[in-house]
Structure 1
Amino acid sequence: MTSDFAGVMGVSDNPRSKGPWLPPRWVIRTAWAVHRGLYRLTGGRFALQRAKPQKWGTMRLTVTGRRSGKDRPVILAYVEDGPNLTTLAMNGWGEGDPAWWLNLQANPDAHAVWPDGERLVRARVAEGAERERLWAVWRETNKDLDEFASRRSTRTDIVVLEPRAG
């Protein structure tokens, strides 16, 4: 299981590493299990937060499993960019891409639910100037973003979720 919230908050197996403190991976995994449980128990009325200026929100994104073909819901951090929602594809700042992002790469169509509504979306990776602009937006939500990202050996993709017709 992976989560962007974990990535924004960070993860570290070495509490003595330099830079901002990152909780151990088991803490992140437990927090997200509780978060998903609250979402289910309250029928979605609790556990999603609205994004605000300089603060990311939380949304529920349902993707299609690339092998199973089944719906795979995940709670992710997001910021709005006009009509689009954006999120970071990190694996708790650990190595590798999160499963939800691998699933979206195989099938980019998904369903997003956030406090202001829900919609069908199509995912794509931000590139070039758009990526730089969106990274700066994400940096405003977490002053340690560059430090966290530097702990990974691969680039952290910014995923743009564009509205699509039903």
Structure 2
Amino acid sequence: MSAEELTDSPVPWVAGHIRRFVETGGQARPGMNDLLLTTRGRRTGTLRRTALVYARDGERYLVAASNAGADRHPAWYLNLVADPAVTVQVGSQTFAATARTATAAERPRLWLLMVETMPSYRGYQETTKRQIPVVIVEPAV
């Protein structure tokens, strides 16, 4: 992605978290695995940035499209399904990556990694009828 203008999440607490992440060089919540994910809006083409908790699976980053247990997928997830080319910031490092939804065969093990990282995901899954997608983010080569 180029140096186009970024639009941060319209959700006030997420926008505040993004601001703290940027101000602290990625240390907004010490001890938490947070990253910034930038996707391209599927309808507008605008670069959109959100903050997410991640788990690691080798060199890959995992995020959950939990939307706090809502019955609809978060916009960032719909954006990366439409265009899997994303930008990720972990700490002060920013890199291009490709994102995809874990397959049915991959998901059980990866979901456990997400729940170990953020136990509240288990409760989120219990409150929604949809299966919360696990997204695999692989740094571009």
Question: Which category describes the TM-score, using the shorter chain as reference length?
Answer: 0.7 to 0.9
Identity %: 29
- Rg comparison, structure with higher value: 1
Q: Cα deviation per residue 1:67-103 (whole Å; 9 max; x = unaligned)? A: 1111111111111111110000121211100000000
Whole-Å Cα distance in 2 between the matches of residues 38 and 48 of structure 1?
5
Matched-pair contact (CA < 8 Å) for 2:35–2:90: yes
Deviation at 1:48, TM superposition (A): 4.5
Whole-Å Cα distance in 1 between the matches of residues 105 and 95 of structure 2?
26
SS of equivalent to 2:42: coil
Whole-Å Cα distance in 2 between the matches of residues 47 and 99 of structure 1?
25
In structure 1, the partner of 2:112 is 136
Q: Among 95, 103, 120, which residue is 2:79 paired with?
A: 103
Match for 2:76: what amino acid?
Answer: W
Q: Among 86, 105, 127, which residue is 2:62 paired with?
A: 86
Whole-Å Cα distance in 2 between the matches of residues 85 and 141 of structure 1?
12
Of residues 114-123 and 76-85 in structure 1, the stretch that sits farther from structure 2 once superposed is: 114-123
TM-score when scaled to structure 2? 0.81
Whole-Å Cα distance in 2 between the matches of residues 46 and 118 of structure 1?
10
Matched-pair contact (CA < 8 Å) for 1:48–1:57: no
In structure 2, the partner of 1:33 is 15
Of residues 82-91 and 143-152 in structure 1, the stretch that sits farther from structure 2 once superposed is: 143-152
In structure 1, the partner of 2:123 is 147
| Matched length | 132
Q: Cα deviation per residue 1:88-122 (whole Å; 9 max; x = unaligned)? A: 01212111000000000100000000016222111
Whole-Å Cα distance in 2 between the matches of residues 90 and 73 of structure 1?
16
Whole-Å Cα distance in 1 between the matches of residues 90 and 26 of structure 2?
11
Which runs of 5 or more residues in structure 1 are unaligned? 4-28
Deviation at 1:46, TM superposition (A): 4.9
Match for 1:138: what amino acid?
Answer: M
CA RMSD of aligned residues (A): 2.2
After TM superposition, where is structure 1 displaced by more than 4 Å over at least 4 residues in a row? Answer: 46-50
Name the structure with the higher strand share.
2
TM-score when scaled to structure 1? 0.70
